[in-house]
Amino acid sequence: MTEPPISASYCHCTRCQRRTGTAASAQARIVPGSLRVTAGEELVRAYEPEDGFPKAFCSACGSALWSIRPDTSEVSGVRMSAFDQDPGVRPSYRQFVAYAAEWEPIPDDGLPRYPEGAPPQGSR
Ligand SMILES: [Zn+2]
């Protein structure tokens, strides 16, 4: 990555639960165009839901990598687990909490919670 991530958040939607096997997916928003794959690009595959952004993952190990904006083909949300080092940002809100897993309470961490998608995070 050529620039540090901008921000991070948790998504509690059902799709994120299923694709991660967890109660929520942590992901970082990045500067458009700041990520470049330097090795193993041939292993990157995408799950392309009809009603959402394609989700890239590693076909060798199954790791979740990032989502892709269909309009620009740019990488948008990079999964926090994909960073080798501390990405420097911390999740600052939780979205789609209306669909949160019954089996794991949302942590009482004081982060803003949005029942559906978070409003645009302009100045955050
Ligand atoms: Zn989600």
Q: 30 pLDDT exceeds 60?
A: yes
Distance 83 CA to ligand 1 centre (A): 19
pLDDT digits (tens, 9 = 90+) for 36-91: 999 999 999 999 988 889 999 999 999 999 999 888 889 989 999 999 999 999 99
Residue 18 has pLDDT above 80, yes or no: yes
Q: Report residues near ion ligand 1: CB below 5 Å.
A: 11, 13, 16
The answer on pLDDT for 121 being more than 80 is no
Nearest partner of 17 among 71, 55, 43, 61, judged by Cα: 55
Q: Strands 91-95 and 113-114, how do they pair?
A: parallel
Q: Are 96 and 18 in contact (CB under 8 A)?
A: no
Share of the chain above pLDDT 70, in %: 97
CA of 96 to the centre of ligand 1 (A): 7
